[in-house]
Structure formats: structure tokens, C-alpha cells
Structure 1
């Protein structure tokens, strides 16, 4: 019987690399134990077969940003549970190898409107987080809102000019019809409940709403409950 040893030590013995390089191989998803990728350098090996995958490089992993098409009504904790290897959008074109570590240490900002579905940004990258926080009042968010009821006369013009309501005033907003039952709103850093207030002010009732874009990054065709990586060329 032999005592279990750390996977990182196995990789050092297998390749002759340094301990740090072994950790980078493992954290990069390049090491398998009996055919299964293991990303924890401290994993204990007890006689299993350790293999280094072809093309392996001991490079630090860059932080990633995930774009989730969040189902309506989920908390941040529940939204995180939607992020699994299986729920990655099959048509994601980002040239990134999926690692389980991509689901750790994620932070979000720019929350959805109450009850809304759609684009939620979850990131490990402090640069993306700072951009979203510092430029929140500059980044346009686009929502598609399903409505019912009859709009008051010149309702869209009233939205574009701003509307007085009991207890205050709603600022001007860009809005247009997408089709007979859906409005499109484009607005910057909307307060919670603002879109519903706009609709109520022009005689409409919100059935559902979905955020489809933040700044220059669209949700695209990602189905509800699935996610994709933020592409290298995409900028908020």
C-alpha cells in the first residue's frame, strides 16, 4: 500500500516540470486522472493513471465573463446554479476551453428589472466589473417588453418627452413598437421598476420583459437558461 500523493507532485514526476508549472497544467484543465480532467492540484492520487493532454501549456488562466440568459424571477444565487457545463450554449463561438473553475468567484452588476428575464453578466474579471460599474450611467440597456391594454393617444411621444405622474416625473426615454404586442426600450441604468412605471403611465400592463443588450454586447440567440462566454472582440 502506498500513501496518496498530491496530483501536482504526480505531474512533476511525470513531466519533470516545476511545482508551479504542474499547478498551472492542472488548473488549465490539461491533466486527467483515469481519463477524467481534474483541476485541483491538491487532489489525492492513489494509484490512478495520470496523463498530460496533448497541447498542454503551463499558462495562467485568464479571468472569464459569462453571459447568462437568466430565467425570470431568479436570485443571483439561483442564477449561478444555472451555470453548468451542460447549460453552455452549443453554438457559443468563443474560442475557450470550458473549465469548472470558470464558475467560481463570479460577480454580477447591473441587475435586471424586477421579474425580467434576459442578459445577466457574471464575471471573474475586475476590469469588466469596473467598466460596468463606472460606466453604468453611460451604457444603454435594451429591453423588449410584452404588454397588453390600449396605449393612450400619442403614448410614444409622451415617453420621448417625459411624463408627469403622481409624486414625480418619469424622464424621457427611447421607446418603439417591435410588433403589435411588444415594445422596445433603450435606457441607461434604469431604476428598479422604471420600465413598468413607463408602461403604466401610457395605459399598458407589462406581461413580461427581457433584457437583450448592455452597451455593445447583445444576448444574441442564447436560449433561456443557457449561457455563453463574452467574446474577445466584444466590448460593453
Structure 2
């Protein structure tokens, strides 16, 4: 016998929306199960039942924006902490990249529920995604994400000489963190003091901790790509909208 699931969880699994959006839509009477409106939060469904949403939900979802920012050092990704400013504070008209090709007009309501889809340390720079769209957040930070992220990392070897090839291999695969083996990464030299890291996971301060394990000190760290979306020429401290035809 197949177990029933919470309707909001099932909608998230199907990629229709985030769980929070699902609860909003259910409460508004915008969700149907096998053609019948279900408006009670916590309702359960079987996996074979057909879920549809009203046009208003799709229209509201299409209004939700996703913003790409080139985060400077000194800003935190999420909530304000220890007196540091969150990156969302940079999302204002005067900081919008003048070369942003998107026709989207800025409006203060876009700042509501604009949350980071993934974090970037306070002392790291580069591509940070802030979104109102639960589907994008799930795609980038959900447990089953397959979207990789690329970083350029300036390093200094602390043990004298040069990093041995065996340690470069360990950075690619073989290190453990928090009691678990890390997923395979792609780590290669870009030039004599800069490595490129491509990861499919994002443990807290992962790259800095990986480098530390093999005697490398991180001097600078910049995220340059998330999936198919690149930082490109976006200047530090400026932002642009994710274009309608761009996908991670």
C-alpha cells in the first residue's frame, strides 16, 4: 500500500513550487486534486493522484524574480549577523548593472521573500543568487541538487616548495569532512597560484577547509559560475536579473 504524502510536499517533489508556496496556494483555493479544490492545509494525497493549479498561481509565480549579484567581501549571504550587512541590501536601483539586458523594472515588492539560494562566506566574493521563486531555490540548494558551482581560489602553499600531485588528487577525491567522504570534485591549476574548484556540494567553508587539509592557505575566493549561469562581466557590488531564457 502506497503511503499518502502531505499535498505541499508532493507539489514540491513534482517541481510545481516550494512547500511554502504550496501552502499559500492551498489556503487560497488554487490547488485541485483529481479536479476537486483542496483548501485545507496539511491535506494528504496518494502519489498517483493528479494535482493541478489554477492560472492565478502560475501568474503569480511568473512575477517572482531571481537576482544575480556579484557579492563583495564584508557582506553576509543571508540574515544580518554580528553587525554585518546582508547582500540583499545592495539590491537597489542605483546598484543595478547598467548593461543588464533584462526588460524587468525594479520595484520594492521584489525585495519581499527574496532569499539567498546558497551561501557565500563573508570573506568570499562572486556570484550569489537571491530568488523569490521556490522552484529555483529547491533546484540550487535542495538535497538532490545536481547543479555544480565553480570557484577560482588564490592559494599559498604553507609547507615550502610546491603542492604535491598526490595532494591535488586528494582535493579531487579522497578527503573527508564532518565524518563523511566528500563527493568527487574537479580541482585543477589555473596558473601557478590559482586553483579552479568545481563542486556539487557546499558544506560550510568547504573549500577553505579542503585547502587547509593539504597545507594550502586561501588568499582569495570567488564564485564564477552556478550551473550554466556565469558571473561574466557583472561588476563587484552590482546586480542583474536572471533572464527569462537563462537556466541553471
Q: TM-score range by the shorter chain?
A: 0.5 to 0.7
Instruction: Give TM-score scaled by structure 2 length.
Output: 0.64
Q: What is the correspondence of 1:2-151 to structure 2 with a 5 Å cutoff?
A: 62-75=63-76, 76=78, 77=80, 78-113=86-121, 115-134=123-142, 137-149=145-157, 150-151=161-162
Q: Could you report, residue by residue, the CA deviation over 1:39-75 in whole angstroms, capped at 9, with x for unpaired residues? A: xxxxxxxxxxxxxxxxxxxx97711110111112322
For the aligned residue pairs, the C-alpha RMSD in angstroms reads 2.6
SS in 1 for 2:170: helix
Q: Give the gaps of 5 or more residues in structure 2.
A: 1-58, 81-85
Please tell me whether the aligned partners of residues 183 and 200 of structure 2 are also in contact (alpha carbons under 8 angstroms). no
Please tell me whether the aligned partners of residues 189 and 196 of structure 2 are also in contact (alpha carbons under 8 angstroms). yes
**1:157 corresponds to 2:169:** yes
Instruction: Give TM-score scaled by structure 1 length.
Output: 0.67
Runs of 4+ in structure 1 off by over 4 angstroms are: 164-171
**CA distance in structure 2 between the aligned counterparts of 1:196 and 1:223, rounded to whole angstroms:** 24
Q: Give the gaps of 5 or more residues in structure 1.
A: 1-58
Equivalent position of 1:228 in the other structure:
240
Q: Name the count of aligned residue pairs.
A: 178
Q: Could you report, residue by residue, the CA deviation over 1:90-113 in whole angstroms, capped at 9, with x for unpaired residues? A: 111112223233233311221124
Q: Evaluate the alpha carbon distance shift between residue 130 and residue 201 of structure 1 in structure 2; reply closer, same or farther with a 3 A threshold.
A: closer
Tell me which structure has the larger Cα radius of gyration. 1
Offset of residue 168 of structure 1? 6.8
Q: Evaluate the alpha carbon distance shift between residue 165 and residue 68 of structure 1 in structure 2; reply closer, same or farther with a 3 A threshold.
A: closer
Q: Evaluate the alpha carbon distance shift between residue 235 and residue 167 of structure 1 in structure 2; reply closer, same or farther with a 3 A threshold.
A: closer
